[in-house]
Amino acid sequence: MTTQQAVQTREETILHHRERLNAVLLHIQENLDAALTVETLADIAGFSPFYFHRIFAAYLRETTSDYVRRIRLDWAARRLILSSDLVTQIALEAGYETPAAFGRAFKKRFRASPRTFRRLRRSTLYANYWEPLLLQPEIRQQPNYELVFIPCVGAEADSETIWKVLKQHTGIAGGGASAVDPFEPTSYVQVCRDRPIRGNSASDKMRVDAGILLEENASIQPRRPVDVEPLAGGVYAVFHHHGSRRDAMWQAIYKRWLPQTEISLRDAPPYAESADPPGLRGRQDQTTTFYVPINGSLYELQKKEKEMSPTVETKTQPDRPMVSITRHVYISELHDHFRKSMEQLSALIAESGVEQDGRPVAIYHGHVDAENNGPVEVGIPVKTVPPVSGDIKSATLPGGTIAYTSLTLRQAHFPEILGYYDAVHKWIEENGHQVAESPREEYATRPMDKEAGMDEPFLDVVWPYK
């Protein structure tokens, strides 16, 4: 046998195994309340129980019992959040014989009882990190689609082989009538059957339907492992992302946007759509659209969307003298820098008897996060500068025309606040201006005021422009 023949044989074997396993995964998904024994699943796959157990673990990197348990519990968690069904009913439909057995398994996986999980009701239990983005979705009514797809697990959904097979079935690769519009960009879709965030289904175990949208009224005869399924229409929150890190974008949506909005999720799978097959090219230049199914009417949601958008205003300020302290700090050190610097500056102003001339400020002369310790200047504007020494310096707070947006304490936490900086910067660029000075925060109260109310005015994000 030649090397080429050996490679071809191996690829055919892999496709054969995947076809058999996909039939098993679909059976599990549609029969969570049934007895899903190794023998039953092996029979569906057409393998002996011993061989099936080995193949399943090799492809999915977990045993059949672990996989079934995880899928059942993830389904139950989704039902707890999205429905008002009794916990006992959810336990039985998830394949558990008693609520007690369900409760033990659920708490082991999610570190909370089903009732506690439901009471919290938000995705904060699911995720461990998120990207610092200000997420303002477009609310859109989507039509129903038909999707030519292959069920995948984990990184399979980015596999070149998967997309090659799908393109052959839809005629994109040539050699037959095309089931997609040749004059429109092809829509490559990944439908998330599990919640697309860490802590629920790890990325290497998440069930994803990799597919291509069919042209309206197109007819196709799928052959395994390819199938056709409806992609439900309805109202969606739509997010656009340019670049890599699809996983981080899903994190941002479910960890940051969802807990901060009053919008509730609809019981349908979210999906991502792009004009290029995921994973097949440098994804830094790839634009991806994320669709999250939500409840409510399009009109009311679009009205609320406008109300929630940050308002950027402008005004003119004079240059003002100030006393300040500048230090290089990481984000974990920022709180301490604010506290100590404000104590020193306030003491100097009180001792010297000079008059304060405006709000306290924090000027960011460099990037500050867990990995970057850019210089941060904490200052208080004054009418006249008193004698200074040590860390305290005399400085000038730049005036001119500024763009700003006002935040409450609830909105001002890191990393959420970075999104408001993005909004101000975006306004400056979209209106044909340029940034003139470093951005800053101007506080309505002392930066570390423990008496500040969560929903009262706390600070302005300010950016001088020209």
pLDDT digits (tens, 9 = 90+) for 277-310: 886 544 555 778 899 999 888 767 766 655 556 7
pLDDT at residue 305, as a whole number:
58
pLDDT above 50 for 200: no
- On average, the pLDDT of the chain sits at 80
pTM (predicted TM-score): 0.48
Strand spans (E) along 106-154: 138-142, 145-153
* 396 domain residue, yes or no: yes
Q: Per residue in 302-339, pLDDT tens?
A: 666 555 567 899 999 999 999 999 999 988 788 889 88
**Cα distance between residue 464 and residue 114, in whole Å:** 50
In a domain, 133, yes or no: no
415 found inside a domain: yes
Domain end among 93, 123, 153 = 123
Instruction: State whether 150 and 228 are in the same domain.
Output: yes
CATH code for the domain of 365: 3.20.80.10
Average pLDDT of the residues in 73-94: 85
128 in a domain, yes or no? Answer: no
Distance, CA of 36 to CA of 68 (rounded, Å): 8
Residues 109 and 94 both lie in one domain? yes
- In this structure, the answer to whether residues 149 and 262 fall within a common structural domain is yes
Taking residues 201-226, report their average pLDDT: 75
- For 260, the 3-state DSSP assignment is helix
Domain C-terminal end among 100, 123, 146: 123
Give the range of the structural domain holding residue 269, as residue numbers without chain letter.
Answer: 138-308
**Token code pair at residue 93:** 């439909």
Is residue 131 one of the residues assigned to a domain? no
- Domain boundary among the residues 88, 123, 158 is at 123
* Same domain for 164 and 304: yes
- 92 with 190, same domain? no
Whether residue 329 is found in the same domain as residue 291:
no
- 393's tokens: 């310096």
Rounded CA separation 390/404 (Å): 32
Are residues 288 and 198 located together in one domain of the fold? yes
* 275-284, 394-403, 426-435: segment of lowest average pLDDT: 275-284
292 and 330 share a domain?
no
- pLDDT at 205 exceeding the cut of 80: no
Residues 356 and 435 placed together within one structural domain of the fold: yes
Residue type, 347: A
Judge whether 130 lies within some domain.
Answer: no
The backbone torsions φ and ψ at residue 324, rounded to the nearest 5 degrees and listed phi first, read -150, 165
Residue 47 located in a structural domain: yes
* 283 plus 331 within the same structural domain: no
Are 321 and 405 part of one and the same domain? Answer: yes
- Given this model, what pLDDT does residue 184 score? 63
The CATH number of residue 28's host domain is: 1.10.10.60
Tokens describing residue 67? 């996989």
Same domain, 115 and 222: no
Say whether pLDDT at 454 is over 80. no
| Domain count within the chain | 3
Do the domain assignments include residue 426? yes
E-strand ranges in 299-445 read 313-317, 320-328, 361-364, 375-381, 393-397, 400-408, 440-443
Render pLDDT for 104-138 as a digit per residue (tens, 0 to 9): 999 888 878 888 887 765 444 333 333 334 567 88
Rounded average pLDDT over 200-220: 73
